[in-house]
Chains A and B, each alone.
Chain A
Amino acid sequence: MSLFIQALLLVLSLGLTSQHPAIAEESAASETVHQPHVSARLLSEQEVLGRGLRETFALELTPDPEWHLYWRYAGDSGAAPKLHWEVEGASLAADTLWPTPERIAVGPFVNYGYTSQTLLLTELPIPDDAPGEITIRLDAEWLVCQEECIPGNGEFQLTLPVDDGSSSQPSSHSAKITTAQQQLPSAEDSLELSVLAESEETVVVSFPLAKSPATQPFFYPAHPGIIENAAPQQFTRSGTTGTLTLQKSKGLRHTGPREGLLVIRGESTTESYAVTVPTQPNEAIPEETSSKDTPHSLLNILFLAFLGGIILNLMPCVFPVLSIKILSFLEKSGKQSHQVRRHGLSFAAGILVSFWILALSIRGLREAGEQLGWGFQLQNPAFVACLILLLVAVALNLFGVFEFGSSIQRLSGSLDRDGESYTHSFLSGILATLLATPCTAPFMGGAVAYGIQASLLPSLAVFTALALGLATPYVVLTFFPRLLTALPRPGVWMETFKELMGFPVLLTALWLLWVYEKQSSSQQLLALLLALLTVSFACWGYGKIAPLCASRKRQRIGMLFFITLTALSLWICIPRTEKALEQHTSSSTTSQNHPSEGEKDSHGLLWLTFSPTTVETLLNEGRPVYIDFTAAWCITCQVNKRVIFGSEELREEFRERNVALVRGDWTNEDPLITAELEKFERLGVPLNVLYDPKYPSEPTVFPSVLTPQIVREALEKL
């Protein structure tokens, strides 16, 4: 530094003359270091430093557009900038004051960092015995990334005069630095974060929230191993309280305090608070109380589950089995009622046990880290194929093509040999559950979602309620057989009715065939159809042989014939379905590469493929967004589609309001969609949502069953 400048600075420090901006710029800022995709310089807040004071310095980092630098915790990948300070040749550890970062999605990951110019502030102590001029050195390294990353580093130096610190001499950068200081996260304790509920997987935190934020608040963990960075943070607001449901980190576990930031972005302001997630909610609060804080109380959920179970009885896949079981004891209604009752109870037990197995296996899988939702079984083509085979066999059985000595509709005949027949009642309970899985009643979604996510006991309770609902009509009838007196007397009509009931079963099979075709390919479909033919042949053959075989031993030959052919049919269709699944998964991941890609439906409407970024981009463009989460195997979804988009009037409405249509197809498993559904507390489809770009944090969530009226009203509010 030239003598002239030094002299001038001395004059400045004495306050005898006004500052000269050009010179101030020179002294309070280091030379700018230009590195790939980032430029950096060191700034001083003060023109003259005060002895014994803490003075503020800033490393100004300016990344190129679309490139980003990292926060103190970089998130799933990346690295925070590292700063090494030296004051007069002595290195010292100084804390960096980190500005509020942004969430940056990179592939399947989330990083925390800065996409625009950022000032990393540091306060450095100026020694009491500092000479008239001291040198501040900063050795900094950073990582700048777009998707690819480039490390950079720079050495910066500032030499500034020192006085006794009695008067402030702000530099030309002081305004910039002051603004950065004001935007720093508020200190710990300025906002109280409390834990509403916590399980192994999630923690629900609540905080005061006076007005509705522009975008949803986010928690930014300051350390690795606190939360799953890429998991959605489900936000709700009721009154003046906001809650966030955070997915706890699955791999690495942070052991210290769970520090981080809570960031609430308004229209033009950003509130940012340093917070710590308390380790445990108040131990004294019993579980019932905490579950009341969640949107649905447990009792409410149990009731819904029970009701849903009852409604399942009327579904085309369950109704035939149930109605025939009822008829079977109508024939015997004159007989000992205690036997009938026992059958009712065995049947209920079968349903209960299979629901428990289902609940525990979903739970086990989720614990193993699978992203599963209700209906996930139907995302597996192998399972769908098995179900179709079973349905066709049941239909043939109803048509009377063959009769198992023990088959469901023969229960009436075996009532007298009761020992065995109770087992059959139990087994038909299992069968009913199995057949019920594709026909989930519309409003069971919420209950099942809760059942899967809740802790073990409430979860089992929900599934039990569901099972009891399914079993209730039959059990009630077995206890009060008089309710059936309205029905005609037993007779030939029952045989006709039984055969008639084969058709709803076939209908279910047809629908599943359509689902299967979507999941695999037409070749797979052909294989499955061949398998169906084989099974039908097996059933027919068995039906012919079995009655001819008087002895048990020869009956076994018939059985053997049946088993061999069934095995053959399974072999025909199953091994290839696995491959079909893989192919499908890979093709669906490819499509995620091009979020803007869409396809036109039969009405000429353009549907974009769902991804959170697509939705965000559309909302940023100011367009309302209608999202249809659907699956080929979801009947309600297909009905909704017809009802809403079959109406020319509504299609016009969508076009006029420039609503972007987005479709999340969950026919095959897609973790992205599962995560989004969970954000809305759903573990299944249908889910239809309308986002208003003016209030992107408060989307309209439609009921599962849509009417044009509901959708029109929502559109009119835009």
Chain B
Amino acid sequence: MNRKHTVTLLLSLLVALTLPGIAFAEIEVGEMAPQFTAVDSNGNEHNLKDFRGKNVVLEWTNPRCPYVVKHYDTKNMQSLQKKYTDKGVIWLTINSSAEGKQGNLSAEEANRSIAESGSAQTAYLLDPEGKIGKMYGARTTPHMYVIDGEGTLVYAGAIDNNSSSRHTTVANAKNYVAEALDAIMMNKPVEVAATNAYGCSVKYKS
């Protein structure tokens, strides 16, 4: 009895040694996507865990970044959101712009932006502290991640293969996110699973 107690105490202290801290991490495709909870523009809380069993897209955004503008002015992003949320995909748009930095939106501003652009994401998450962004190592806007129903990260990187800021380049670009989603929906491996995300830097707090 005594011994057991001592063992428990010592073990729990050793476990305490391993409590993680906060750092800018770069996660790898094939690993489990890190868990997070966040509040959306309507004040609802979302936990990545709640979406187990569904395919999830994470889209880093900054409404004033020209590369994000490219995909919204051409309605490319909205039609992707519409197409895949109709098929049951959870689409989370995440804004990690810190307060006072370019692209930072309040909840109302975010809702106005959604209405004006006709976006069709599942939720627009506000991450002004950059916690989720740093957890995923999101560097640019747009930076895209696809997570499968088992919670595994299956795609990370650019939205497509044309890093130009010209709006005309969107139509003929190869869309990596659509390809990844189509593949996992047909239980096929994702062909291009990691690319270099292009665009503006995420305007983090630090």
Contact = CB atoms under 8 A, between A and B. Distances in A.
Interface of A: 74, 76-80, 82, 106-109, 111, 141, 143, 145, 147-151, 153, 224-225, 228, 249-253, 354, 357-358, 361, 364-365, 368-372, 376-377, 379-380, 382-383, 386-387, 390, 404-406, 420, 423-424, 427, 430-431, 434, 437, 552, 555-556, 559, 562-563, 566, 585-586, 589-590, 592-593, 669, 671
B201 A354 contact: no
Contact of A145 (B7, B12, B198, B200): B200
11 contacts: A76-B139, A77-B198, A77-B201, A147-B102, A147-B201, A250-B26, A357-B14, A368-B25, A370-B23, A386-B16, A434-B14
Tell me the interface secondary structure of chain B in the complex.
loop
Nearest to B204: A107
A614 to B, nearest CB: 14
Contact of A431 (B10, B18, B102, B165): B10
Contact of B6 (A106, A250, A368, A406): A406
Interface in B4-38: 5-7, 9-10, 12-14, 16-29
Given A141-B164, A361-B14, A431-B10, 9 more contacts: A76-B201, A148-B64, A148-B200, A250-B26, A252-B195, A252-B196, A253-B194, A361-B17, A380-B19
Given A383-B19, A431-B10, A671 B3 contact: no
A151 B13 contact: no
A593 B24 CA distance: 17
B200 A559 contact: no
Sort chain B's interface into a size bin: 35 or more
A427 B6 contact: yes
Contacts of B25: 250, 368-370
A574 to B, nearest CB: 9
Contacts of A79: 67, 163-165, 198-199
Contacts of A423: 3
Given A365-B20, A369-B26, A586-B129, A78 B201 contact: yes
Given A108-B206, A370-B23, A252 B66 contact: no
A387 B6 contact: no
Contacts of B5: 559, 562-563
A427 B10 contact: yes
B83 to A, nearest CB: 26
A77 B200 contact: yes
Interface string B137-158: 1011000000000000000110
A115 to B, nearest CB: 16
A228 B101 CA distance: 25
A283 B200 CA distance: 41
Contacts of B156: 251-252
A228 B26 contact: yes
Contacts of A108: 24, 134, 204, 206
A595 to B, nearest CB: 11
Given A251-B137, A377-B17, A669 B22 contact: yes
Nearest to A591: B206
Nearest to A668: B21
Contacts of B19: 380, 382-383
Given A77-B199, A383-B17, A592 B140 contact: no
Contacts of B201: 76-78, 106-107, 109, 111, 145, 147, 149
Contacts of A390: 9, 13
A100 B16 CA distance: 48
Interface in B148-206: 156-157, 163-166, 194-196, 198-206
B3 A420 contact: yes
Residue of B17, B23, B204 contacting most chain A CB atoms (<10 Å): B17
Contacts of A405: 2
Given A251-B194, A671-B23, A406 B2 contact: yes
A421 B165 CA distance: 73
A151 B22 contact: no
Nearest to A148: B102
B194 A252 contact: yes
Given A77-B201, A669-B22, A143 B165 contact: yes
Q: Which 9 A-B pairs have the closest CB atoms?
A: A151-B165, A224-B196, A77-B201, A250-B26, A251-B26, A369-B25, A669-B21, A589-B206, A383-B16
A427 B7 contact: yes
Given A107-B204, A224-B196, A382-B16, A149 B65 contact: yes
B101 to A, nearest CB: 8
B161 to A, nearest CB: 13
A404 B3 CA distance: 9
A380 B19 CA distance: 8
Contacts of B134: 108
Contact of A590 (B6, B196, B205): B205
Contacts of A106: 201
Nearest to B7: A427
B198 to A, nearest CB: 6
